[in-house]
Amino acid sequence: MLTETDYLLICADEECAEVQQAISKALRFGLGDNNPHTPRQSNAVDIAYELADTIAIFRILQEKNIIPTLDLEKLVSNKRDKVSKYLEISKKLGRVKCN
């Protein structure tokens, strides 16, 4: 039998997998393409929805004290800086072209 913690961690795991799947579809078919089952919704919108679901589970895990409450704004800012730094390195190496 699962505990509530187990259940919520499985939900988090599933949401992360759904983000991966949505991103893979966008990379294969394009951000503007859509799933035939949801023709009014683009792959870009699918990614946004799946990320929102993941954030919701993240917040539930925090509210239930399953994971610690962290300074999210600081962590996001630090990650943005790191991504920018390594993106510039990749551009200089010719691995990423400018849009």
Q: What is the pLDDT of residues 60-79, one digit of tens each?
A: 999 999 999 999 899 999 99
Asked if residue 76 and residue 49 are part of one domain, the reply reads no
Low-confidence ranges of the chain (pLDDT < 70): none
* Single pTM value for the model: 0.86
**What are the backbone dihedrals phi and psi of residue 34, each rounded to the nearest 5 degrees, phi first?**
-140, 165
Asked if residue 54 and residue 88 are part of one domain, the reply reads no
Domain residue limits at 74: 70-99
Asked if residue 74 and residue 27 are part of one domain, the reply reads no
User: What's the length of the chain?
Assistant: 99
Asked if residue 43 and residue 28 are part of one domain, the reply reads yes
Asked if residue 51 and residue 18 are part of one domain, the reply reads yes
Residue closest to 44 by CA, chosen among 36, 54, 53, 34: 34
Contact 71, 39 (CB under 8 A): no
Asked if residue 58 and residue 11 are part of one domain, the reply reads yes
Asked if residue 51 and residue 39 are part of one domain, the reply reads yes
Asked if residue 20 and residue 63 are part of one domain, the reply reads yes
User: What per-residue confidence (pLDDT) applies to 35?
Assistant: 76
Asked if residue 75 and residue 61 are part of one domain, the reply reads no
Asked if residue 76 and residue 62 are part of one domain, the reply reads no
**Total domains in the fold of the chain:** 2
Asked if residue 57 and residue 76 are part of one domain, the reply reads no
